[in-house]
Amino acid sequence: MDSEIKKAIIMEHYSNPHNREEIHDDNYIKVNSKSETCIDNLDIYLKMNGDVIEDLKFYGEACAISTSAASIMTELLKGKTITEANNIISNYDNMVLEKDYDKDCLGDALCYDEIYKQTNRINCALIPWRGIKKALDQYEEKK
């Protein structure tokens, strides 16, 4: 992906984030995701239908990377099964942490494929994804 295109995707999702909404509904699992080293602070709202992610929202104060990553993540994971979602999550993690990963399942999230070069941004890119992982784990535990 060309670096200008990456930037454009990030800025678009930062300026007009998708699925950014505070939810007050008990049908959603709410988890908070933040980092001890930076100031991003996001709530993730997950609504499941059996094995499928029916809806995914996020809300909070966060930087451009974290906000755009959350927006892209919600688009990518909505409608996916738990297995599919976990596969995408682990590939995303690997990409951000500079390990081997499968490009094909990551869609727009590929715009962070060089984020590892900015050490102070790696965490930002991971924060929303840590949140969804926690929410899915909570759902599985309750089942």
Burial of residue 3, with CB atoms counted within 10 A of its CB: 0-12 exposed, 13-18 middle, 19 or more buried: exposed
Distance between CA atoms of residues 134 and 143, nearest Å: 14
Which residue's CB is nearer to other proteins, number 36 or number 141?
36
Give strand ranges (E) for 2-132.
Answer: 29-34, 41-49, 52-61
Show contacts with other proteins in window 1-20 (CB under 8 A). 7, 10-11
According to CB under 8 A, which one of 33, 67, 71, 74 is a site residue for other proteins?
A: 67
Number of residues near other proteins (by CB under 8 A) = 16
Shorter beta-carbon distance to other proteins: residue 6 or 78: 6
Residue 61, interface with other proteins (CB under 8 A)? yes
Binding of other proteins by 35 (CB under 8 A)? no
- Told to check if 121 binds other proteins by CB under 8 A, we report yes
Query: Is residue 39 a contact residue for other proteins (CB under 8 A)?
Result: yes
Q: Residue type at 8?
A: A
The first and second tokens of residue 79, run together, are 């409608």
